[in-house]
Structure 1
Amino acid sequence: MPDEVLNLQITDLTAEAKGVMVIELRSTTGQALPPFKPGAHVELHLPGNIVRQYSLCNDARETHRYCLGVGLSPSSRGGSRHVHRSLKVGDTLKVSPPRNHFPLQEDAPQLVFFAGGIGITPVWSMIQWCEANGRPWHLFYLVRNRQRAAFLETLGGFGDRVTLHADDEAGGLFDIAAAIARQPANVHIYTCGPTPLMLAVEAAASGFPDGQVHFEWFTPRQPTASGADKAFTVQLARSGRSLEVPADKSILEVLEANGLRVESSCREGTCASCEICVLEGIPEHRDSVLTAAERNNNDVMMICVSRSRSENLVLDL
């Protein structure tokens, strides 16, 4: 567990929509919390050694509280189920300081958001920032039905800047390709939601520069197949140790098996907790966090899922 972990108290629990709970967390001593920017998330440390990442959905100008939107997953491995069924006001939780791998491009001339279901949580924080700073924006909010649409009443006050699509009312899925085709060339597109939505936006926005299309993945995207996994060697620059990474083990697993403590959480390449600097060698990136430009730089990697294209990697460990 990170040394700088925060001890925060649950001061409010709100059923924001069907299957969506908003948790308000504050310092037990009344102190200001570490600041964050829209798109940031924190990690909740739950009973049973469960660590889960949840996006901050409140106004980033607030320093007295964090608000998290948590959707109840039908395939919950214990995280969202515990949040919805067991947490209560007054409970104290260990919480990591905010991290942000989905940052808002604050000088973008136009911002368009695609939010699917609980993917509205980081987007709602971004919209509040846009409103506070007079930035133009539009939201495409895609849900199965209105009952599952969090923050719907508040978003309704923004008029035609919000396009709500409920599958049950529309009789089918939203035409993402048509919506993206109408966007100006300088738009920045932000998407958070289920994998089918992410893949649809990614395909429809393929004509835009990579730096203008941004994603926050809930679940790991499937890496491009590059043949059977092969063994390789990692050299730890600080200690000089060399370790063999077999085809059926991750770098993280090998490090842990050799008594090395490395921060990690999701173990599926979505949270970036295990990001490590690469000093030599060429990683094979399999995460769902790094942008195309960051992957091309090959100077960092997520050691929980990514492997090596070269026979040897030198890591800053």
Structure 2
Amino acid sequence: MKARPITTIKTVVAGIEAAGAGIKLFTLADPDHWELPPFKPGAHIDLHLPSGLVRTYSLCNEPADNARYVVAVKREADGRGGSRALHDEIGIGDVIGVSLPRGGLTPDADIASHVFVAGGIGVTPFLSMARHLVRTGGADFTLNLIVRQELPLASHLAPLIDEGRVVVHRTSRSGRPDLASLIGDVRPETLVSCCGPESMTEDFERVTAAWPEANVHIERFVAPAAVIDLDAKPFTVALARTGTEIQVRAGQTMLAALQEGGIDIATSCCGGICGACKLGWLEGKPVHRDRILSPYERERYLMVCVAGSDSERLVLDL
């Protein structure tokens, strides 16, 4: 039984560029040179690698550059294998399946300025956003890039650095800057965003605790450890479109139960940070444990990889 097909776009690797220590920039294009599906600045795509691995990366280019998808990949020797496969096995002309883009910066007339805080390769989504804001003359922004010494994507950041849009903080010279001083006081017209190592995002969460949730955006490299709910009870997942009902055992994830029931679900991080398994819900009382959905989105959607249920029956829009 299949609830829905997992949509992928066929792309070919049109370019590979060295972009810093252990970093490669991959350019993906349609084999027949058609435009690719549109995306928001800083959106994510899942790469379905020939080995079967699925990994999520932020787009570096901006939406007007719609004939290609560009992602920066840092080779992580101790990672889960995706970056090693891309660096060591993928070459020009290779075919890679790509998901439809998701997430990214949504224009908001109430936001007059952005403060971006990036740690190393975490600059990738903000490079896309910065390029878009410069091209469109949109909201003002400052991109604070925190690195040990060498810049990632140096040639791509150089014009923004020359314009004073990017401020580089080298920790090898002066230590990590105080995040509170970079962000400043709460301002309702400002959106503050962070992408970087877990220690940085945790500090960022602390210094933005007083900010409205809608004014804070965080992207993570690695999903946090799974939450074990000792009080979790079994519940039923009902699929509204087919009438199918699937039992989720106590301690079992909703994702595992759906897959056990033969339902194809797109996945990548399996930790509530990438958005690949986002589904609509219609009835019940979901328990949200993801790190990506806004309060407004949680009224309609959940991430099945980490979500639970406080009701005995949860109806999904499947």
The two structures have a TM-score, normalised by structure 2, of 0.90
Amino acid at match of 1:27: D
Amino acid at match of 1:270: I
- Describe how 1:126-275 pairs up with structure 2 within 5 A: 126-135=129-138, 136-148=140-152, 150=154, 151-159=156-164, 161-170=165-174, 172-181=175-184, 184-221=187-224, 227-275=230-278
Of 27, 40, 44, which aligns to 1:41? 44
- Give how far 1:175 is off: 0.5
1:241-280 per-position Cα deviation (integer Å, ceiling 9, x unaligned) = 3322112321111122122223333322222222222211
From the superposition, tell whether residues 300 and 123 of structure 1 become closer, same or farther in structure 2 (CA, over 3 Å): same
Amino acid at match of 1:275: K
Amino acid at match of 2:160: L
1:88-136 per-position Cα deviation (integer Å, ceiling 9, x unaligned) = 1122211122112x32434321111111111111100100011112231
Query: Which is worse superposed, 15-24 or 139-148?
Result: 139-148
Query: Which is worse superposed, 178-187 or 111-120?
Result: 178-187
CA RMSD of aligned residues (A): 2.2
Amino acid at match of 1:18: A
Rounded to whole Å, the distance in 2 between the matches of 1:133 and 1:241 is: 47
Runs (5+) with no aligned partner, structure 2: none
SS of 1:146's equivalent in the other structure is coil
Amino acid at match of 1:284: V
SS of 1:276's equivalent in the other structure is strand
Rounded to whole Å, the distance in 2 between the matches of 1:93 and 1:13 is: 14
SS of 1:12's equivalent in the other structure is strand
Rounded to whole Å, the distance in 1 between the matches of 2:244 and 2:14 is: 47
Amino acid at match of 1:165: H
Q: Is the 8 A contact 1:177 1:200 kept in 2?
A: no
The number of residues matched between the two structures is: 312
- Give how far 1:45 is off: 0.9
Of 53, 56, 73, which aligns to 1:50? 53
Rounded to whole Å, the distance in 1 between the matches of 2:6 and 2:247 is: 29
Rounded to whole Å, the distance in 2 between the matches of 1:83 and 1:36 is: 23
- Give how far 1:223 is off: 7.1
Rounded to whole Å, the distance in 2 between the matches of 1:278 and 1:3 is: 18
Q: Is the 8 A contact 1:143 1:149 kept in 2?
A: no
Rounded to whole Å, the distance in 2 between the matches of 1:18 and 1:104 is: 32
Rounded to whole Å, the distance in 2 between the matches of 1:268 and 1:213 is: 20
- Give how far 1:86 is off: 1.7
- Describe how 1:62-101 pairs up with structure 2 within 5 A: 62-100=65-103
Runs (5+) with no aligned partner, structure 1: none
Q: Is the 8 A contact 1:4 1:96 kept in 2?
A: yes
The two structures have a TM-score, normalised by structure 1, of 0.90
Rounded to whole Å, the distance in 2 between the matches of 1:133 and 1:15 is: 28
Of 289, 292, 306, which aligns to 1:289? 292
From the superposition, tell whether residues 222 and 266 of structure 1 become closer, same or farther in structure 2 (CA, over 3 Å): closer
- Give how far 1:199 is off: 1.7
Rounded to whole Å, the distance in 1 between the matches of 2:189 and 2:227 is: 29
Query: Which is worse superposed, 252-261 or 50-59?
Result: 252-261
From the superposition, tell whether residues 133 and 114 of structure 1 become closer, same or farther in structure 2 (CA, over 3 Å): same
Amino acid at match of 1:137: F
- Give how far 1:220 is off: 2.0
Partner of 1:277: 280
Query: Which is worse superposed, 185-194 or 222-231?
Result: 222-231
From the superposition, tell whether residues 106 and 71 of structure 1 become closer, same or farther in structure 2 (CA, over 3 Å): farther
Rounded to whole Å, the distance in 2 between the matches of 1:4 and 1:224 is: 29
Q: Is the 8 A contact 1:220 1:287 kept in 2?
A: no
From the superposition, tell whether residues 281 and 36 of structure 1 become closer, same or farther in structure 2 (CA, over 3 Å): same
